[in-house]
A and B are shown apart, each in its own frame.
Chain A
């Protein structure tokens, strides 16, 4: 009875030690899969012995983990999570990304690829059902992401770093061959630190589904909800315009971070709105492998166009209204392999500090200098917190736990304010994603200028999204579908019964594990802090909408509630040092 279900999971991980030049296939304990699912949850569980290591320690694993739905026809589920410890934030770190790489890793017969050690020379790793082979990559070292992908794609699907990862830019990405990014927290630098230029995977093993007819019904239910969602398939939604559909909305809600969050309305934002991008570039639908939404947008000749966060931060946050310059910045970040949000936000903090935001004409050079760590780029490569500290004004960094805030001003959405602070990976919008209900009215609307109930709402959403990141599914799916339908897909796939409640309980286990790791590494309530600006300065009110500073006392009160709901101490820590030992 302790056998792993034959469907959904593979039950195997591929362990590679680059330092020793060895690889072995390991069984994954059944309980790990049942109780952590896969993706983020599995990756976080697999870090239990090593979470205290420095992110650049050779023994710190870099884990790529797919979920039980990957390889099936579940909508948006051809994804994986990359998990390690972030050199930017010091927190445990995961990032979800779509693309064929995830699909092929599963098709190679693995739920996870765990890479440890540091190769003495640059290598690429080729993964097949038979195991792993290291390939010399000295010729690829220094190459851009595109050049690297083109060199290796004949062997399968590629995940690669660019010069930014090689040079340990603290917000370097791992880029998927199709252009998806494992972004934000610098896992590209972790990969570069291992002298690992790329991983290429191939496989053709199908994933069996336990109950195909139940699966088909659930899939139809999901697709019906996608079609009913104005955010997903509405004519103004992300399938049509990509995430830049949010540009006009954030402008109207007066919460588009402008000039390093000094203001919240940027007059030039119409230049890079969804319709403006479509008009300028004739954009076409593009997106993750197997995804019905196709929210990414490309030019007719295949160049990837920027997402909302990128246009807003290379735009408003730096006071730039030149769409073509923004598109170039995005393309350059992708080629160098670094996170657009952190790159742009670091430039904005630096710009405010020196008294002049970068103009469009100099951004290309600055971005390249960051990627290659040249001149002032060497400092900028360390992210806004370290830049602001070096400039003697730490308050310039609009970050939480050193992770630069994305393009939703917290003064315009109080749940977002709280969620930036409680996020286990730092100032990220996607952990609890309250923009969904505070702005996009899904699944129901909440009052964006109220803290009432938000501590509980954020806690529930963090748990739910931890489960989503472990299935692995795309968060955008949940602008339409709910855990109810995805639990059906999971049950039908694996033959194990799951529901929304059991998924949220799994999510809670994952979330608390992450929090425990962070606390053990020295994080506490003192790190769950928003930059002071948001409590002292108003945003840009007008048109009947006021954007006052956040009431700090009320914020603290809600944060205190959050700790109580989570069962944490008032310091945001664990009273039981043996907490982890009670978890599977």
Chain B
């Protein structure tokens, strides 16, 4: 889309867009292309010869049990983080929307975790869930009688990184749900109330359906967040351990490529992740477009 009334200049528009284009070419497209090319290459680690090997890197990847395990871990991790943070975020937002007084104060008290870095969220929860000193782990051990040890037990470690990642995301979801709830016309709710629908019934039959676009959007953003932005959480809390129990895909790319210097495999993993995020983005835009047409 463009304005009806525009300026004419031969060079100015190019000059204006130039910085953006230079940066995207150098730091986005060229590296992405390099990664793509390299995912079809086999190079020896001393930087000598490279050889074109077609899809060998990908075949190796998808027959590697460690990689398959990482896929399962990532999906489980992502599902848990999204479910937990969306449920809590929606619940608190619904309550905050009901609260007649002190809305501003409530919002202030709830949005600041958005500003906490994932890595710092990891540090806070590392202490809370520390096997010997943590207060939450103390509660788990004494009240639930579970032998809590995230350093040794994979499932405990996964739970730990899920808690740290979901906690940070609650406020993000809260902001969107509050905005979504406020956009729902009160007349609809009032009409249903006059017809005698209980508050819970109104929530399920009016609020939730009208909130579904927000819900969809927030779900997509939470999945992207848990796939890509939780690197800091993993790095500070578990470094992918114990035994790969928290080694999500993004962390594995870093480990194999940057620490292990396995260029071919790391590039192939990057390409897999790229395909994934392209799919998610395209799906999201398709959905948004449909919604716009529906409304207009």
Are both chains from one complex?
Answer: no
